[in-house]
Amino acid sequence: MKFTLEWLKYFLETDASVEEVAAALNAIGHEVEGIENPADRLAGFRVAKVLTADKHPDADKLQVLSVDTGEGDPLTVVCGAPNARAGMKGVLGLPGAVVPANGMELKKSAIRGVESNGMMCSVRELELGEEHDGIIELPEDAPVGGAFADYRGTSPVFDVAITPNRPDCMGVYPIARDLAAYGLGTLKPFEIREIDGEGPCPVDVRIEDAEGCPAFYGRVIRGVKNGSSPDWMQRRMIAAGQRPISALVDCTNYLMLAFGRPAHVYDLAKLSGPVVARRARDGEKVEALNEKTYTLDETMTVIADDNGVHDIAGIMGSEESGAADDTTDVFLEIAYFDPERIGVTGRKLGLASDARTRFERGVDPAFLDDGLAILTSLIMKTCGGTPSDVVRAGSPPSEPKILRFDPALTRNLGGIDVPEDEQRRILEALDFSVAQDWTVTVPLRRHDVEGPADLVEEVVRIHGLDKVESVALPRAEGVARPTATSEQLRERRLRRAAAASGLDEAITWSFIAEDAAEHFANDGESLWTLDNPISEDMKVMRPSLLPGLIAAAKRNADRGAATSRLFEIGRRYAKAEDGSSDERPTLGLVLAGHRQARGWNSGKAQGFDAYDAKGLAETLLAEAGAPVDKLMVMDGAGGQFQPGQAATLRLGPKNVLARFGALHPATLKAFDIDGPVVAAEIFLDAIPGAKASKSFAKPDYAPPALQAVTRDFAFLVDDTMAAADLLRAVRGADKSNIVDARIFDVFAGQGVPEGRKSVALEVVLQPGEKSYTDEQLKAISDKVVAAAAKQGAELRG
């Protein structure tokens, strides 16, 4: 909310500076988001007098003005305004000044061959209103050469964030009341004069939706003359971010900005029959003041007559019945609307307004008569006219909350000692009524005060939040224990490792469509179906992370992404045997598109294959602490994967740690994604936990004293045999001496029998205290050959 210092001081008697006001506002909970001085935007603009106005020699619609700036010789200015003439005073923008309306910096320039030393400005160009038919005309007493900002009288503008729980402060006057309670000044008495009507109101006001509109007041003013609102009103409204429209409309907006009370003015000639607050009919349409048409339903409250809807209640009026320049008779509406109904209607229509902001948070229900009296007075002062009697329908909420308050709570809850007399003064300054026994009557506008704790908050914020002592929470002595679990730490490591491997982290929904869940469900696995899903496409908890990642890769491809390398760490879900939920930590990854783009040295673009997924799965399993060198590669990845291009990584025949491979064409078709696509899923819950160390301190590392020995072996095996099985057997042949083994060649062809292949391994032996003898090396080699023979391998000659 924005307002000027001048406007604030209209209600608050104070000598406080801009800085002191800002500090006070922040202290009492109204955060100042910014302070702007409009004079800064008008720098370089001066009051000037037109001495002569001659026709431009080369343009019919331009004039060459001789302008007195009060300093030295007159300046030549080219101007196209129709009202520019000799003897008038206006506003001259000198070279170097920046036009507020468009940000253009003025410079000396030649216009049709005549040098122009600035620009005579219109109201719109200086953002002082909407008039742009001619340049500004100032009175005769305007001082030539003086700064226009000084002549106009500018005031700093505060931009204050009002929290949603304080709708009572959505106006300048209530802000002044809070500051007066804080002690920054004295709230000026604001006399609200009841204006007697001169005859009954000719408009019949009715309420048919008492739930949405409990109270509806109004009156007619005849013989008004619409036009521009007074300059002082326009200045305040422009500073508050409101565009002046006309005197009648500006008066209603001024009431809202000054007192937080929205109201509406109708052209009486455009109304027909009684004006009724009722529910809208399904499909009923209204063209609002923003020139957009809205379709209403029966949950919405409207103001209507025999011709139809004229106001989306509490949000925005219609274009049809709004006041125009030729309006002579008006009907004023001021009502109390249900905040919840206003909020629901605004969200349904996607329609925001200043009135909605105030009504949906809750306006003062006791301000109907006073608000109507102030609005009537404003209109009569600016537009004239004769008012009718006030007509009233319904009644607003009128039962105030009454709370029992113990002043000792301020110390117990607020942590600060405030004398009882000061507490009473603060509450009464905020319009709370405090009895001798500390029974407190809450003003109707304070919807946020529900109990004694809220009264403590009021006392403390006005007394001074900065006076509340900062007290550290108790903390146990010693080194703080880590709060992250081993599972959380493992997931952090995996995220870093996946990102370092070139994968992008994705976060997908935990619930997916039923057909996608069934496609990835294991045999005999019960799906966890939601009773109240967000939508039909999100009704089953995911049994795997891959459906969401595949869908994400498809979205990327549809938007032109050539490659997707995605991973996610989350939970997969199933129903346990007892019907409870079963959540299991999982890492999923999907590789789609091009692994390598086409190039002059690589030819066609290359896609991902199962080995890419396998390599990433092993890398991440190693980071998670799995014994990768002991894993077995076995079938059983699932029907979602392509047979022969997928497998599982197991620790023993039954413990599946991961599955990987190329997705089956049926899976690609089900998710409408072009292949090939490879994926992997790591079951983090299946990885055995690290064994606890017996000692807190790790022993110092000592490198072996003797050099390692390598021996190469080549074995003939069936071409269907997995080389990893042979490697595992060789590593376990003599664990006291064999420290590592790796495959360095696989060959099939000339010299190798058909149906067989040659697998060559390098075996690393580590001697202990003494070097190996020939006999020891032969014994170890015999063990290696024997272990390989058990796998059906034959030492190649």
User: pLDDT (tens digit, 9 = 90+) per residue, 41-84?
Assistant: 888 899 999 999 999 998 888 999 999 998 888 999 999 999 99
Element at 715 (helix H, strand E) = strand 709-718
Decide if pLDDT at 694 tops 50. no
- Tell me the pLDDT tens digit for each residue of 343-381: 999 999 999 999 999 999 999 999 999 999 999 999 999
Tokens describing residue 619:
């890398």
Does residue 454 have a known ligand-binding role? yes
Using pLDDT thresholds of 50, 70 and 90, give the confidence band for residue 696.
very low
For residue 598, give Cα distances in angstroms to 189, 240, 601, 602, 604.
Answer: 81, 59, 8, 6, 5
Q: Mean pLDDT lowest for which of 8-17, 273-282, 469-478, 545-554?
A: 469-478
* The pLDDT of residue 387 is above 90: yes
Give 224-253 pLDDT, tens digit per residue: 999 889 989 988 988 888 888 899 999 999
What CATH architecture is 40-152?
Beta Barrel (2.40)
Strands 215-222 and 329-336: antiparallel
Confidence at residue 690, expressed as pLDDT on a 0 to 100 scale: 52
Residue 299 near residue 279 (C-beta atoms within 8 A): yes
Mean pLDDT over 766-774 rounds to: 91
Give me the pLDDT at residue 520, please: 92
Higher per-residue confidence, 338 vs 604:
338
| Run of H or E including 93 | strand 89-93
* Cis before 676? omega within 30: yes
- Across the chain, what does the average pLDDT equal? 91
pLDDT at residue number 671: 94
Q: Is 635 annotated as a binding residue?
A: no
What is the C-alpha separation between 266 and 323, in angstroms, rounded? 6
CATH 3.30.56.10, applies to 2-37+156-187: yes
Q: What is the pLDDT at residue 699?
A: 59
Give the Cα-Cα-Cα angle 726, 730, 733 (nearest 5 degrees): 140
Q: How many CB atoms lie within 10 A of CB 209?
A: 21
What is the CATH number assigned to the segment(s) 486-686? 3.30.930.10
Domains 2-37+156-187 and 402-461 share a fold: yes
Report d(CA 577, CA 240) in Å as an integer.
64
Residue 693 pLDDT > 50, yes or no? no
How far, in Å, CA of 702 to CA of 219, rounded? 98
Over residues 505-556, the pLDDT tens digits come to 999 999 999 999 999 987 767 888 888 888 888 999 999 999 999 999 999 9
Which CATH architecture best describes the domain 402-461? 2-Layer Sandwich (3.30)
The pLDDT confidence band at residue 723, using thresholds 50, 70 and 90, is confident
Residue 579: what pLDDT?
Answer: 64
Structure-block tokens of residue 92: 């001259």
- Name the pLDDT band for 504 (thresholds 50, 70, 90): very high
Q: Which fold has domain 205-394?
A: Phenylalanyl-tRNA Synthetase; Chain B, domain 3 (3.50.40)
Per cent of the chain over pLDDT 70 is: 98
Residue 698 confidence (pLDDT): 54
Q: Please, what CATH class does the domain formed by 709-795 belong to?
A: alpha beta
Pairwise CA distance, residues 736 & 561, whole Å? 52
Q: Known binder of ligand: residue 457?
A: yes
The domain limits of the chain are: 2-37+156-187, 40-152, 205-394, 402-461, 486-686, 709-795
pLDDT tens sequence across 324-351: 989 999 999 999 999 999 999 999 999 9
DSSP class of residue 467 equals G
How far apart are the C-alpha atoms of 103 and 86, rounded to whole Å? 29
pLDDT at 577 over 80: no
pLDDT of residue 695: 43
Least confident segment among 126-135, 152-161, 482-491:
126-135
pLDDT value, residue 716: 93
**Dihedral angle at the C-alpha atoms of 594, 598, 603, 607, nearest 10 degrees?**
0
Q: How far is CA 421 from the centre of its chain?
A: 44
